[in-house]
Amino acid sequence: MKLQKTRFAFTLVELLVVIAIIGILVGLLLPAVQAAREAARRMQCSNNLKQLGLALHNYHDTFKTFPPALLGSGRYNNATYHAQHGGIKNTTGWALMLPFFEQSALADKYDYNVCSSSSSPYGGLVAGDDTINDGLYNAPLDVLACPSDPSSGLVVSTSAGSTSMYSRREAIRTSYVFSVGSFTDYSGPWNTYSGNIHQGVFGNDGAANFAAMTDGTSTTIAIGEATGGAFKTSADYGPWGMTGTHTCCHGYLPNSSTEEISQTRAAAYSQNYSINGAYNNDAQGRTYAWVFGSKHPGGANFVFADGSVHLLTETMNYLTLQQLGYIRDGLPVPSDY
């Protein structure tokens, strides 16, 4: 008697069940994988800020002050400050910090005296027709790029060749900005650094030192993320890296640098000026990417003046964020931020 071989095969129903099970498993595992990848990116971002905090401290040890966020940019020409810094006309704090985050070779090649205007260091940070620094100031620097920020490392070139305050030549986008406290669009840190009670660590043509931070370095924001989110006008408007004017940032914007901010006023602006909020330029009616924010879920990374790194949530108390931006307002900061 001849035995028939039994053939084993999936029925259509069984195949559909297997596919469904695989789909469920993928659906369960994919968020976990994505979360793990984001956690790794957030950790790398935190490490970047840790390096920048260390660079700030080394810069301070050398010059007894922090670097200016901007030098010779915006609407003011501080000839005295330029003379004190070896005649440097236009540059950013990032460029001044190059030797302090292991970029001495790049700093040695960079010509800090190239100016956007032949008559005065008026606007922009490098001349639009500058060829001396070509390939240098748009060099990608990993320490200035958050891996979660898709716009970091992009090279944009708007106003190249002009002498306007937004002139720059192929500026590279960065993910981090200097904290300047509070100011209006056309005052405060855009002028010479004043160091008043609502001032942040950095300003135009100047910055604070440790002695000025009477609120304490552990409760003062130095550098934070600013990727612009959904509120940025375009990829051409900051924050930029070694060139471009948009290398400083604020978490809040009162009417003047000395205004006392009431609870009512803060509540009115909390939607626009909290982490991941929008900053509206009242003079031009546009929103810029100058406020703190990130592509990380729920908040943004910051390095404080003491070198510590913190993830501040976008739901944190708004007045607390405001106080963390000041160097000496004398008000206690809640411990649960």
- 330 within domain boundaries: no
- 26 within domain boundaries: yes
pLDDT of residue 274: 45
Is residue 280 within 8 A of residue 201, CB to CB? The reply is no
- 93 within domain boundaries: yes
- 29 within domain boundaries: yes
CA 215 to chain centre: 22
Q: What are phi and psi of 313, to 5 degrees?
A: -80, 155
pLDDT in tens, the chain (337 residues): 555 566 666 677 777 888 888 888 877 777 777 777 888 888 999 999 999 999 999 999 988 888 887 776 544 455 555 555 555 666 778 888 888 988 888 878 777 666 544 444 444 444 444 556 666 666 778 888 888 877 766 666 555 444 444 444 556 777 888 887 765 433 444 445 555 555 778 877 778 889 888 888 998 889 888 775 444 444 444 555 544 444 555 444 333 333 332 222 222 233 334 454 444 443 344 444 456 777 788 788 899 999 999 988 877 776 777 788 888 877 788 777 7
Q: CA dist 146 to 37, 100, 225, Å?
A: 13, 19, 8
pTM metric for this prediction: 0.74
Total domains, the chain: 1
Is residue 117 within 8 A of residue 147, CB to CB? The reply is no
Q: What are phi and psi of 26, to 5 degrees?
A: -65, -40
- 294 within domain boundaries: yes
pLDDT of residue 192: 53
Q: Which domain holds residue 280?
A: 15-325
Place of tokens 């040890």: 61
d(CA 178, CA 67): 10
SS3 233: coil
- 278 within domain boundaries: yes
- 337 within domain boundaries: no
- 3 within domain boundaries: no
d(CA 111, CA 78): 19
